[in-house]
Structures are given as structure tokens and as C-alpha cells.
Amino acid sequence: MPQRCVFCGTASEPGEVYCCCGCAAELPWVENRCARCAIPVATPLRDGVDCANCQQCPPPFIAAATPLRYTFPIDAAIKAMKFRRRLYYVPAFSPMLMKTMACLPKDVDALLAVPLHWRRHATRGFNQAVELCKPLQKLTGLPMLANVKRIRSTPYQSGLDADERRRNLRAAFAIQGSVIARHVLIVDDVITTGETCRQLANVVLAAGAQKVSVLAIARA
């Protein structure tokens, strides 16, 4: 059977794999972003200059990057992947993540998929962040940390404002033992307010890591 584009369903042409050239040209790519939090900005920022939000409240991670904005069709694709088990989107997103990872600091020495609480993992059957992290691990050879757990079963973040997200994730993560990596790359599907990555980065830094960066498919 011929491979088909995961976005429009047309048969792939030579050189195309999971995303046809037409869809690739129309996807909501991030052209300019804050290098610290990955939020899209209208005009390029100078090297070393963060967005206003990061200047007022610097996140604990030193860099973040996403290839895409969280708008159609990416929002629909991510929801289908997470909630309807459409894991065929993973190999479509993997090359995008790998290319975007090149924009991050080169000294990353470990990957960390944002963990799910065991109840949600049992219900869903998989962790989408882990599925996205596996191809990166295979291509880079970096280890994937497995001792970081989500110890509180929190409500879904969608629909919550920034303060509610912060309260929702307070003390949600814990580490069994310590982190031996110096620079940990957190991998997730979406960065919305960045609160999940903030909370997780604080836990990782407290456990011995020196630096944290973030990589995701899309940024709201």
C-alpha cells in the first residue's frame, strides 16, 4: 500500500513520507520566536534578547523551541493523536522535531518525556510525549530519563487560565533518586502557558541537573 499524507490523505510522491509537499507548505510554521520560551513573535528578536514575559518572569529552562504554532490543522492532529490514538502522526512530527532540536544548545545529554500519572496512562494506553521522544532517542542516541514521575493525578490543563494551571501542577512531579545528566531536554506535544515545563524543570534542576531546555511540536 502506498504511504499517504497524514494531513490530507493523498498518496505520497517520491521524496515525501508522511506529509505531502502541499500540506508542508501550508502548515503553521513558527517563523520568529522567543529563544527562551518559544512563543511566536511578529519580528525577530536580537540574539540574547528574550520576550517581555521572559524578562519579567524568567522560566527555569534556558531555551525552548517548537516547529509549529498550535492552530489548525496541528491542534486537530495533536488532539487526535492524544485522545483518539492516532499515533500515525508521530512519524510525521518526528523529522520536524529533529530539525528544530538543532536550534537548541548542543550540550543536551538526556531526554525527558513529560510523564503522565499512572491512572491516565492506563486509561489512554500510552504517553504521547514518550512516543514523540522515542524517535529522537533513536536518532540522537541520548538516554531517556525514566525516574521522573507524575505523583498527582491532575485535571486536564486545557480550559484553565495561567493561575489555575499553576495551582493544578503544584507538587505534581517527583524524582526517584537523582538526575545524573547535566543538560536535560524536556519533550512534550504542546507548550501552552509553559507551566508544565516550568514545574518539571524546577524538579529536574533540584535533583542535580545544571540546565534544562524544552522541545515540543507546537506553541500556543
Instruction: Report d(CA 170, CA 175) in Å as an integer.
Output: 14
> Residue 165: what pLDDT?
57
Select from 79, 88, 108, 50 the least CA-distant residue to 218. 79
Residue 110: its H or E element? strand 110-113
Instruction: Tell me the per-residue pLDDT of 57-100, one tens digit each, with 9 for 90 and over.
Output: 999 999 999 999 999 999 999 999 999 999 999 999 999 999 99
User: Looking at the 3D structure of the chain, how many domains does it have?
Assistant: 1
CA nearest neighbour of 92 among 109, 80, 108, 83: 80
CB 200 within 8 A of CB 213: no
Tell whether 6 is covered by a domain.
Answer: no
pLDDT value at residue 152: 79
Report which of 15, 17, 14 is spatially closest to residue 4, judged by C-alpha positions: 17
Range of the domain at 147: 29-219
In a domain, 16, yes or no: no
Q: Does some domain include residue 80?
A: yes
Residue 21 lies in a domain: no
Instruction: Please list the ranges in the chain whose pLDDT falls under 50.
Output: none
Q: Is residue 15 part of a domain?
A: no
- The answer to whether position 11 is within a domain reads no
pTM over 0.85: yes
Q: The CATH number of the domain where 49 resides is what?
A: 3.40.50
